[in-house]
A and B are shown apart, each in its own frame.
Chain A
């Protein structure tokens, strides 16, 4: 599935006052892959995501998405890009004055002209697709639990069947069963729709279950990019700690290593 690069980041530098978040960061995301981004708190994972979708203003560097430089794109270009991607924010970021169904309908109504019947059907489809009960549609975000809000938000991100999906900690705040179902869903969508997924996560289970490649953010840049197996062989102390720590053991990644060592 390794193919053309959809996102190309070169020499990215982000700075808030004197605090440097990224410096000389390079990263590629290939078509059709699920890339997991990990890193300690404050290493700028969310800042990186925001820079890619044009919400941040990096000090230097280029961010190309589908060959267009996001940092210098015209409004028309940006709109075309926004039409191709869906973003799931960490806290859902649903519009609080609209019902869940209306939230999902927002991008559909904004970009497409379609009869009301079809609109309602597609909205219902998305609600069901992310595993929410149908009656959730008429509820307001404030009436939902955290996990349901996250699913509703994913439904909105998927409304236009985007080719590129950005997920900011999609499984945080979900129970393990819900998180596993979420992983399954992402994996399914990715394989059937050929999605490219950029996922910021701390969930080792998620990383092991769905990610094709993992990028590690540390020391202001992307330290290494590679598969889970490659991560386990890394010698950098933080990466070792991360992938071999007690939580990693809990996630049974260790078992995989043992199998590999046995081979």
Chain B
């Protein structure tokens, strides 16, 4: 048994001793170097190496350099005398063992003396380990970099194929559930409708309301120069119902619920819940993906409608306060100049965006592998991809509606 030093407890906990480790710091010793030391006692034909003090992991760094640089004249005998070593742990034993084997490898006659039974056991234990210095992390070479680029490229293509695959799978599951409506998890759908739709109402409403104000304010400044203040209603009305309302809503939902889908499903994947489901014979597509997808498809048009109203409210409020256009006039002009199709243009986009956000969110969740870090990565990817896709889809819609002349 290596005897722990019998110092009183309270001394161990002095905060100023922490840097050098809390054990066996005796205050009356003059310098810190007293806790571990290494003396060389050259004799005729023999070099006595005398380590002393606490040879523990917290102090070993102080003598490691000197041991590495130990130079011994050829043909001389080396004795490592452990008499003064009070405490030895695996790190200390390792450093001593390494020194000894290095000396022996250099063809010197080297050995330990004054070694206690416990020290011997520890040294044997450390010595029996076939030691290879390990690197903390594999270093990258240029070839690795090229390989990584190549792999990444192939991965992007595969990801695209897998995404399309997943879309198809979701459609097939949807078709199956339409044929057998009893397979639909109504409770789950309603739960996600609340999470995605109802709970998002305040933030979506507030944001579109504020953007409505910003839009009206910007428009008012420009229109006033031409004395065309009254056109503010058309400007705010058209911009909000056609684009801003639905787009802003989709971005908020992608950030809010798309990421939640990925994190929920990803965490289940990490804890093997998805595997468990499959072994019980439950289809994750049916249980996890479809309810989320349907909840989004149902609630996003409703959210878009609310976003439109909030945007118009914000615009109308500003027009009233700044441009002195009464709410009645504002509403009347919107009724006359913003046709019903403009409204539908906005709302039609919502279910499409719902599909994109829900599928990307669920897909990324199912792609999670093994670790918490993976959940984080895929959640980020999910949000980036869904916002990207939402905007791309919006651009395509703009071109499409232009071509068909709405």
Contacts and interface: CB of A to CB of B under 8 A. Distances in A.
Indicate whether A and B interact. Answer: yes
A192 B121 contact: yes
A111 B58 contact: yes
Interface string A112-131: 11110111111111111100
A161 B22 CA distance: 13
A112 B61 CA distance: 9
Interface in B12-67: 12-13, 15, 18, 21-23, 56-58, 60-61, 64-65
Contacts of B369: 142
A194 B2 CA distance: 6
B134 A123 contact: yes
A84 B134 contact: no
Contacts of A209: none
Contact of B131 (A68, A99, A102, A128): A128
Contact of B13 (A1, A80, A111): A80
Given A112-B61, A122-B57, A141-B371, A188 B125 contact: yes
A252 B376 CA distance: 48
A193 B18 contact: no
> Main secondary structure on chain A at its contact with chain B?
helix
B61 A83 contact: no
Nearest to A32: B1
B2 A99 contact: no
A101 B91 contact: no
A249 to B, nearest CB: 32
A234 interface: no
Contacts, number: 135
A122 B94 CA distance: 8
A188 B23 CA distance: 22
Given A96-B373, A122-B91, A194-B4, A83 B134 contact: no
Contacts of B18: 76, 79-80, 83
B174 to A, nearest CB: 33
Given A67-B9, A114-B60, A121-B133, A192 B373 contact: no
A84 B89 CA distance: 13
B135 A120 contact: yes
Interface in B64-116: 64-65, 68, 89-91, 94-95, 98
A113 B12 CA distance: 20
Interface string A135-171: 0011011100000000000000011110100000000
A114 B373 contact: no
B153 interface: no
A134 B371 CA distance: 22
Contacts of B57: 108, 112, 122, 159-161
B372 interface: yes
Nearest to A160: B57
A3 to B, nearest CB: 10
A98 to B, nearest CB: 9
- How many A residues are at the interface, by size bracket? 35 or more
B319 to A, nearest CB: 52
Interface string A184-200: 00001001111000000
B116 to A, nearest CB: 11
A112 B94 contact: no
B126 interface: yes
B278 interface: no
A117 B61 CA distance: 10
B204 to A, nearest CB: 34
A193 B122 contact: yes
Contact of A1 (B1, B58, B118, B370): B1
A102 B136 CA distance: 5
Contacts of B371: 96-97, 140-142
A119 B60 CA distance: 11
Given A68-B13, A128-B131, A194-B4, 5 more contacts: A67-B10, A79-B18, A114-B61, A118-B64, A142-B374
27 contacts: A67-B10, A68-B13, A76-B13, A84-B23, A96-B374, A102-B137, A111-B21, A111-B58, A117-B64, A118-B60, A118-B61, A122-B57, A124-B133, A125-B129, A125-B131, A126-B90, A128-B130, A129-B129, A137-B134, A138-B137, A142-B374, A160-B57, A161-B89, A161-B90, A161-B91, A192-B121, A194-B2
In order of increasing CB-CB distance, the 7 nearest A-B pairs are A142-B370, A96-B371, A114-B61, A161-B89, A137-B134, A128-B129, A124-B134
